[in-house]
Amino acid sequence: MVVQSFKNCVLDELCSKDQLDLLDSVDRLRSQGIDHYVSLPQIIVCGDQSSGKSSVLEAISGVSFPVKSNLCTRFPTELVLRKTPHVGVSVSIVPDHSHNEAERISLSNFRETLDGFHALPELIDNAKKAMAIGSFGRAFSKDLLRIEISGPDRPHLTIVDLPGLIHSETKQQSMADVELVQDVVKSYMKEPRSIILAVVSTKNDYANQIVLKLARTADKTGMRTLGVITKPDTLIPGSDSEHMYASLAQNLDVEFRLGWHVLRNMDSETGAWSLPKRDAEERRFFTEGIWSTLPESILGIATLRERLSRLLLGQIAAELPGLIKEIELKSTACRTQLQKLGLPRASIEEQRHYLLTLSQTFQSLSKAATDGTYNNDFFGEARSDAGYQKRIRAVVQNLNQSFADTMTREGHHYAITDYCDEDTAPACNTKVKQYTRAQVLDRIKILIKRTRGCELSGTFNPMIISDLFLERSRPWQVLATSHIDQVARAVTSFLQHLISHIADASIGGILFQTLVEPALESIVKDAKRKTADLLAPHKYGHPITYNHYFTETVQQIKRERSRVELTCLIKDVFGVESLGPSAREYVIQDYRPLLNALMERNNPDMNQYACSEALDCMQAYYKVAFKRFVDDVAVEAVETNLIAKLSDILSPIKVTYLTADVVTGVAGESEQSRSKRKQLTNRLDVLVQGLETCRQFVVGNLHGTRDVAIRSARSDSSGFSSPFYGRESDEADENGSQDGVEALSDSAHEVLSASQAPGREEPPIPDDEVIASDEIVEPVNDDRGLRAITGKKKKLKKAREVPS
């Protein structure tokens, strides 16, 4: 193992104590495993197979790895370089999440430490065996090999080398391997805090190299991609290909905001060589031909180390405030899920106590929902479907109104087309039959003849009102039952949301099926039974009302009918089409025709008169009964017998009297639940530890971070000149960088202060996100710090976009 010692004043300047603290803080986060849950700033090396990625890694690190042209990187390798007084090498494996727990523990236990570099190749081979590469047909692995190299002359840098992208399957590499490698590379590229080092070999046309397409897909704006051109010595001097790659190096073709860099690496087939020899050959090569015309800042490994150190440092400084916020949100999500799981409960007392705690929360939230007080985070956003379903008072109010509207439209079995009022509006659908008043009177005439008693001719049996009303109100039972069913479905949905909110999914399902659902079914039965009781007087009894509205309605119906009849009579007598004002003058000398017409209005048909009187009374009584029934269903059936009983479905008193078997069956803990609690507890420990690491750095090094980023931005903005970034903009970039970094530092302080403020309330996490996934959702509240950072980070990024 060959180790190159290199000294560089620029690298020494980059390695101030504050900067070391900043990079070490992120390293501690990574070692704590927090990168499993949040994206950390990092540099990833990507490229097609045999593009020279491993040689680039060697040149950057100063450590010579065994490289052969017929081999390639078989797994992601994280190379951590740190400047320390003593030389040290450690190798460990970070297992992929696809492994089961036993495999993860086994791989995590692989940790070796060396005092020198001589045994590193053997350690790497042992790690391959631990990953089972070469066994069971496995050519590649998603597990991460972490190599930490420290020494007094190491650059301060962390880089992840990814397996080379494969174009097609071969005998040694199956299509599954091709897809596996692409999946690994894509997963690293898509991380928003990753800086992509896209390595392109001049041995192939860069337009045909997969890495550029994937980088463009993952980083559409090119803001976090730095291109690296390798093997320029294989190009024929003066050829079109050489000119094409020189143009690419100047960012004239495939444009990345971080620019391009050119390296000349040693060929592994040339025999033994050393890293000092490699660097000397590279410097000599770039002094000749077309490459000597390019800026020195984009040529050679020494300037690449400087660029990468600045990029990583600037990325970490810029992302730290947002990282703190993200960790806080993930921590809140973990706490929410752990709260649902509750404490470990092995004994019956612990299980009953858990149910008692759930019942208290259940009662509190159900009462708030039925009272229409939606202040708790449980209710979420009213505009969403889930948020509306949780507001059960609003849902029931709307359903009651819908029931009243439906009763108005469809509650009467038939409609009288030449008579209309607000309670029996003419139906526009085919559910309601359409009759004229004359047709209805004919039907009543038949009924009167068949139900005559001792009453005089021209009058009617009072019980005929019952028969007429029963026919008219025939749809009431179906509509009322349907309304109760709708309310029951709404309540079921509400209770499911409530149980999901207060209990973990493993417990919530059993809790709902065992305790909540049976109680709800009983309540719904009571509501339906009450609805049947409300219908009974209208179906089986005789009409009863002491409401003066009945007689007023009868008189109003008669007045309206008389008005229609008199209007027609006057029109006939005077020969006009309207009773309104007219320009035509009439001189009537004989008023006897009008008098005779009015006298002849009496109906000599006594049966017809009785039918008309009966219809008027039935219509008046229908209006009285209609209003009473709609209100009774809403108040007596829905409110009293259903909604008012919701909070008692899972009351502490009921939990107290549950048998031991029921308590254990509901609250007893499964192995899956215990495993999930352990997993969430470990995750929360990692997140809390990581959050403390970030906060300690921000508190102790806030001003130092500002100086770090300012120095990096200044050095980066003044160290590169290209057709895109002229020297004349240096001063503006420096000022902009300083302003941006200072604003960023202030924003970081604001985020930290907000997160540590006493009594600070965490932003609510939606239920589906808390349970179903680990995706981060922007907080609804307290986002002033994030907004400020978002705006101010743009200034910093603008300063850092200048390639060095």
pLDDT in tens, 724-779: 333 333 433 433 333 333 333 443 444 334 434 434 344 444 444 333 333 333 33
Supply the pLDDT for residue 291: 93
Region 515-542: what's the mean pLDDT? Answer: 92
Supply the pLDDT for residue 374: 95
User: Residue 634 pLDDT > 70, yes or no?
Assistant: yes
Average pLDDT in the chain: 75
User: Residue 349 pLDDT > 90, yes or no?
Assistant: no
Q: State the Cα–Cα distance between residues 440 and 468, nearest whole angstrom.
A: 10
Region 111-140: what's the mean pLDDT? Answer: 71
Residue recorded with tokens 């949100």: 329
Q: What is the band of 211 on the pLDDT scale with cuts at 50, 70, 90?
A: very high
Region 168-188: what's the mean pLDDT? Answer: 80
Smallest CA-to-CA distance from 165 within 217, 128, 120 is with: 217
Amino acid at 753: S
Helix 784-800 × helix 730-756 angle, to 10°: 150
User: Residue 504 pLDDT > 60, yes or no?
Assistant: yes
Supply the pLDDT for residue 300: 92
Q: State the Cα–Cα distance between residues 755 and 729, nearest whole angstrom.
A: 38
Q: What is the band of 74 on the pLDDT scale with cuts at 50, 70, 90?
A: confident
In the chain, what is the greatest distance between 2 CA atoms, to the nearest angstrom? 137
Q: State the Cα–Cα distance between residues 83 and 122, nearest whole angstrom.
A: 24
Phi, psi angle pair for 142, to nearest 5°: -90, -10
Give the range among 24-38, 419-433, 709-723 with minimum mean pLDDT: 709-723
User: Residue 126 pLDDT > 70, yes or no?
Assistant: yes
The more confidently predicted of residues 388 and 790 is 388
Q: What is the band of 699 on the pLDDT scale with cuts at 50, 70, 90?
A: low
Amino acid at 638: V
pLDDT tens digits, residue range 657-697? Answer: 989 888 888 877 766 666 677 777 777 877 787 777 777 66
pLDDT tens digits, residue range 464-495? Answer: 888 888 888 999 999 999 999 999 999 999 99
Supply the pLDDT for residue 753: 43
Highest-confidence range of 477-481, 564-568, 579-583, 775-779, by mean pLDDT? 477-481
Region 105-114: what's the mean pLDDT? Answer: 81
In terms of DSSP bridges, do strands 42-47 and 194-201 run parallel, antiparallel, or are they unpaired?
parallel
Region 286-297: what's the mean pLDDT? Answer: 92
| pLDDT cut 90: percent of the chain above it | 25
* DSSP structural state of residue 347: S
Q: What is the band of 717 on the pLDDT scale with cuts at 50, 70, 90?
A: very low
Work out the burial of residue 460: count CB atoms within 10 Å of its CB; fewer than 13 is exposed, 13-18 middle, 19 or more buried. buried
Q: What ranges do the domains of the chain cover?
A: 41-299, 330-343+670-800, 357-551+626-646
Q: Which residues of 368-383 are buried (b: 16+ CB within 10 A; e: fewer)?
A: bbbeeebeeebbbeee
Instruction: Tell the CATH topology of 41-299.
Output: Rossmann fold (3.40.50)
**Residue ranges with strand state E in 190-307:** 194-201, 225-230, 260-262
The more confidently predicted of residues 68 and 628 is 628
Supply the pLDDT for residue 682: 75
The more confidently predicted of residues 728 and 555 is 555
Cα 163–chain centre separation = 32
Supply the pLDDT for residue 7: 46
**Bridge partner residues of 512 (DSSP):** none
User: Residue 704 pLDDT > 90, yes or no?
Assistant: no
CA torsion through residues 201, 206, 208, 214, sign: positive
The more confidently predicted of residues 268 and 102 is 102
Give the global pTM.
0.52
User: Residue 591 pLDDT > 70, yes or no?
Assistant: no
User: Residue 340 pLDDT > 90, yes or no?
Assistant: no
